[in-house]
Amino acid sequence: MKPRVPAILVAAFALDALFSIANIVIQLLGYSGPDWEHVDRWRLAKNGAWFMTLLMMVVGYRDLADRVWGGANRMAKLASALCIALLVTDVVVMPISTLDLISSQTFWKVQNYVFWGELGAIAVVLFAGGDRKGLAVAGLALALVARLPPVVMEPVWDALHLGYSGAVALRSVLSIAYQAGVFMLVVAIVAGTPAHLPQRAVLGLRRAAGGFTLRIVAAIGGMLFVLLAAGASSDTAYSLIKLVLIGGLLVNMIASAMIGLGALAASRASLDGLAKSVLIVSAAGSLWCAGTMFEQLPPFYQMLYGHSHGKDALEALSLALPIVSALATAILGTAIGGLGRTRGDAALARAGTTSGVVYLGLTLAAIAMQSYMIEKVHSRQGAIGLLLAAAAAGLAAQIIMGKLCRRAADAIEAEPGLAPARVNG
């Protein structure tokens, strides 16, 4: 079988390009510039997508390394390791800039010089032992041109006088070119074929089940806090509800990341019946939600405990976020149903389809109750009642999906000759 780039990496690069193209279009349509007092929809969605593609690339590069280490020459293995190091650099440096620990100008300088160094190292390795030198040279040239050193680019930026929108659009074009170049390097490196490893599916499904369990614990804890608030004074009740809100967002972010990463792990198993593309779509939705919630956390915290206006951070994607999360989870249920049909397990197939539909219905009901509470309910008792009802619906949905993931993992692990899998593996 001819070696192919891992499907997770293909999806990550494609989604990154898609959001970059959308960013170009939005900037050229006359985006007026960043409003640092409020969080607009596109900025929130775009940063959530950056988080999503980053995690997908981490898993995809790990898959690439597993394949390369299994059957390629020593130079290709080293080139794969350097590609992973390139991504790790992005993971480490970008949050430093986001947290304003260094200035934006310093960030771009550091990032570009580091990328040049790592790309140069990859070039040396590929020239020394790569089998696809032509493709490697083309990819390297494209990546380097897109990431010219600041000493070259700064005079160019000054001479262009593009303004904010034009500069952001051009950066997006260069980002697409850079990712295309790196993807060509990946194609030049790729070797080996996917291994049939059912243990990965077991680990992934149990990790996803852990995400649903985390939501269950959070929902129960949230309901207990709300009940405490019902009998407390106004100030205490307000403090408890604030804690429930910020804690719920943080826990849901972690749970969404666990579910998305679990789906990606299951997709790497190359197991008959577990549709790789369906699992990747489900994972992308959950990871986008995790990234978007990560972006919401700082302004939401400031709104609850500080003095800034963070209301737009919640309202920007208040409807889209839970709907995407629910759809991603329903798709995961569909993938498990497909596994049951392939294995001739009618009960698992029926449970997968039914659980996905029921989960979607319960989640949408919880969303409707929360929206009604925000818009129509003004009394404390009414708000507490609807919060409890929404939490109960959400709790039931998480129990159903957590049980389904564990059931599917147990069914795979019951295969003769399959060694028991551990979640920390």
pLDDT at 36 over 50: no
pLDDT, one tens digit per residue, over 138-157 is 887 888 788 776 667 777 77
Report pLDDT digits (tens) over 375-386. Answer: 565 666 666 677
- Residue 226 pLDDT more than 70? no
State pLDDT tens for residues 159-202.
Answer: 777 776 777 778 788 888 888 888 887 787 776 677 778 889 99
- The residue ranking higher by pLDDT, 242 or 100, is 242
What is the average pLDDT across 255-262? Answer: 95
Q: In whole angstroms, give the CA distance from residue 66 to residue 80.
A: 10
CB 398 within 8 A of CB 365: no
Task: Report residue 246's pLDDT band, with 50, 70 and 90 as the boundaries.
Answer: confident
Cβ count near 369 (within 10 Å): 21
**Nearest CA-CA partner of 322 in 371, 266, 356:** 371
Q: Residue 103 has what pLDDT?
A: 60
Task: Give pLDDT, residue 39.
Answer: 44
The set of residues, in sequence order, having a beta carbon less than 8 Å from that of 206 and lying 6+ positions away, is: 262, 405, 406, 409, 421, 423
Average pLDDT over residues 275-301: 89
Q: What is the pLDDT of residue 424?
A: 45
Sign of CA dihedral 217, 388, 288, 403: positive
pLDDT band at 423 (very low <50, low <70, confident <90, very high): very low
Structure tokens at 241: 């509800």
Closest CA to 50 of 175, 213, 226: 175
Which of 358 and 105 is assigned the larger pLDDT? Answer: 358
pLDDT tens digits, one per residue of 62-121: 787 777 665 545 655 565 566 566 656 655 555 555 555 556 566 666 666 666 666 666
C-alpha to C-alpha distance for 403 and 91, rounded to whole angstroms? 33
Q: What is the pLDDT of residue 105?
A: 62
**Eight-state DSSP code of residue 391:** H
What pLDDT is attached to residue 410? 92
Write down how long the chain is: 425
DSSP H/E element including 218: helix 198-230
Is the pLDDT assigned to residue 258 strictly greater than 90? yes
pTM: 0.81
Q: What percent of the chain has pLDDT over 90?
A: 23
Give the confidence band of 204 by pLDDT, cuts at 50, 70, 90: very high
Please, what is the average pLDDT of the chain? Answer: 77
